């Protein structure tokens, strides 16, 4: 028997007592740095000898990302939506590649195309629901386009269902003997990706068209929390926070939490004074917005007399009501949203990868940057709908239902019937 065969799995004998000592195998799912964090001394960022080189790489990438992000915000709602679509496509590419086996894929021509068929079908369904009102308002001036778009919206659910069933039929027809397990595994994986990408990040689109403020503030808080956690951990991190992310420290977590909550209060006051950020967008145009900011964005003034010395230059301070809601967003962004990153870290440990991709130097892939953002997007959308959005039925909501669900002829008939109704009431 060769030495390799003998040492592969046979227990060794103890020279002292003749007893057998069973060597525990290290779990194949736990990489070396996690084992260090468990007991062998955590590899903290403060102890990393190459941390300055890594820091400058991250800073350069962050500068052009923030600059590009600011430019897209300036361009408006439609461009922000386009950015989100591009991000979702890149996230899907990175996640589709996880667990893929080139040998099996060579025997399954068209299998990748089928994944993208499901992806764009779900995209059509999700965005069709979110943007139907804006799309109708955009094409109302053209009768043909209005009828076409109204028909597509009316039968959107049927169209998406038919496309999805067509994908199921194609999947069944492509099943090959001895590859069933791999194919069904990839099929399930595709649907999990669709849930992760769309069930969370698509809520972001709902936030955008309610007002860029409700997209920009939560997204900014995640960026601020991430940057603050990095620098607090970089200079002060001594105590490991969680085993899934060995470089995360309590010092970074606490410092980032305080910074994020303070930033939420200040940023809400600054952003809330720009109508471009607070006005909802009713169509898909790119023009400048003007509207009544609403009570959330109208400042309230509080006197400082008796609280500060007489020589202090300010006698009062203005606070926007929305700032108290910003504190709730900041608290969530600093305490709960980071667990989206921890979840992604555990996911990467399971697949034995460092990052989901390498498209952003110093940061990894797009998915690595979006893990916490997706959790935050869902929370901010639900928070807005629960505590801020008007829950009662309004004239605008009824008009939207009429425009989306009635044909031109039906709308004219409704108009005539309403006219007769009001004439009868006046005569009575």
Say what the pLDDT of residue 428 is.
62
How high does pLDDT run on average in the chain?
81
Residue ranges of domains in the chain: 75-417
pLDDT band with cut points at 50, 70 and 90 for residue 141: low
Distance in angstroms (rounded) separating the CA atoms of residues 95 and 372? 16
pLDDT tens-place string over residues 239-251: 888 887 777 889 9
CB neighbour list of residue 243: distance below 8 Å, 6 or more residues apart:
34, 37, 38
Q: What are the tokens at 323?
A: 């700032």
Quick one: average pLDDT of 21-50? 49
pLDDT tens-place string over residues 249-274: 899 999 999 999 999 999 999 999 99
Number of helical (H) and strand (E) elements in the chain, helices listed first: 18, 6
- pLDDT exceeds 80 at position 235: yes
Say what the pLDDT of residue 51 is.
65
Phi-psi region of 362 (alpha: psi -120 to 50; beta: other; left: phi over 0): left
In this structure, the number of other CB atoms found within 10 A of the CB of residue 100 comes to 14
Distance in angstroms (rounded) separating the CA atoms of residues 88 and 75? 20
- pLDDT exceeds 70 at position 35: no
SS3 292: coil
Instruction: Specify the DSSP class assigned to residue 364.
Output: B
pLDDT tens-place string over residues 155-206: 889 999 999 999 999 999 989 888 899 899 999 999 999 988 887 766 788 7
pLDDT tens-place string over residues 2-29: 444 444 443 443 444 444 444 444 444 4
Say what the pLDDT of residue 399 is.
78
């Amino acid at each position: 028997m060769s030495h390799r065969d003998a040492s592969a799995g046979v227990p060794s004998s103890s020279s002292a007592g003749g007893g057998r000592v069973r060597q525990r195998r290290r779990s194949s799912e736990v990489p070396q740095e996690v084992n260090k964090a468990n007991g062998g001394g955590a590899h903290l960022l403060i102890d990393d000898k190459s941390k300055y080189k890594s820091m400058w790489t991250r800073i350069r990438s962050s500068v052009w990302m923030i600059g590009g992000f600011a430019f897209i915000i300036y361009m408006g709602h439609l461009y922000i939506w386009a950015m989100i679509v591009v991000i979702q496509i890149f996230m899907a590419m990175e996640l589709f590649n996880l667990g893929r086996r080139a040998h099996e894929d060579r025997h399954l021509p068209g299998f990748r195309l089928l994944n993208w068929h499901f992806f764009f079908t779900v995209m059509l369904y999700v965005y069709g629901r979110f943007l139907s009102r804006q799309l109708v308002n955009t094409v109302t001036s053209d009768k043909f386009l209005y009828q076409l778009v109204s028909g597509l919206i009316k039968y959107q659910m049927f169209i998406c269902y038919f496309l999805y069933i067509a994908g199921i039929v194609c999947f069944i027809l492509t099943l090959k003997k001895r590859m069933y397990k791999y194919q069904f595994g990839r099929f399930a994986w595709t649907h999990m990706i669709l849930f992760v990408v769309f069930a969370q990040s698509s809520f972001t689109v709902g936030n955008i068209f309610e007002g860029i403020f409700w997209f920009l503030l939560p997204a900014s808080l995640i960026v601020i929390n991430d940057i603050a956690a990095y620098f607090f951990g970089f200079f002060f991190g001594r105590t490991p926070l969680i085993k899934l992310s060995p470089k995360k420290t309590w010092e970074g977590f606490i410092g980032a939490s305080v910074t994020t909550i303070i930033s939420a209060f200040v940023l809400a006051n600054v952003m809330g004074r720009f109508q471009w950020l607070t006005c909802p967008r009713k169509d898909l145009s790119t023009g400048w917005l003007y509207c009544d900011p609403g009570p959330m964005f109208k400042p309230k003034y509080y006197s400082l007399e008796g609280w500060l010395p007489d020589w202090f230059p300010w006698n009062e301070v203005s606070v926007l009501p929305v700032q108290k809601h910003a504190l709730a967003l900041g608290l969530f962004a600093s305490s709960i949203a980071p667990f989206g990153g921890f979840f992604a870290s555990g996911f990467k440990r399971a697949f034995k990868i460092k990052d989901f991709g390498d498209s952003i130097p110093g940061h990894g892939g797009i998915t690595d940057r979006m893990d916490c953002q997706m959790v935050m997007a869902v929370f901010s959308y639900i928070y807005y709908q629960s505590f801020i959005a008007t829950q009662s039925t309004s004239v605008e909501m009824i008009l939207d239902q009429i425009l989306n669900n009635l044909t031109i002829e039906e709308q004219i008939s409704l108009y005539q019937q309403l006219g007769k109704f009001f004439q009868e009431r006046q005569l009575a």
